[in-house]
Amino acid sequence: RAYRTRDEARSDLFSYIEGFYNPRRRHSSLDYMSPQAYEDRYYQEHGFA
């Protein structure tokens, strides 16, 4: 698809990513945790919380 402006392309890409990405889905590469839970655990373990 061709876009008239960079902002139009950026907006469409953002909408696609937000619709596609599921932050609650569990991932085997994250020890079967959701991305959000994995990030929370990372920050707690590294003293950022």
Which pLDDT tens digit goes with each residue over 12-29? 999 888 877 776 778 888
pLDDT confidence bin for 11, thresholds 50/70/90:
very high
Q: What is the mean pLDDT of residues 17-42?
A: 84
pLDDT at position 28: 87
Q: What is the pLDDT of residue 49?
A: 59
Strand runs labelled E in the chain: none
Is the pLDDT at 35 greater than 70? The verdict is: yes
Phi and psi angles of residue 33, each rounded to the nearest 5 degrees, phi first:
-110, 160
Helices H / strands E in the chain, number of each: 2, 0
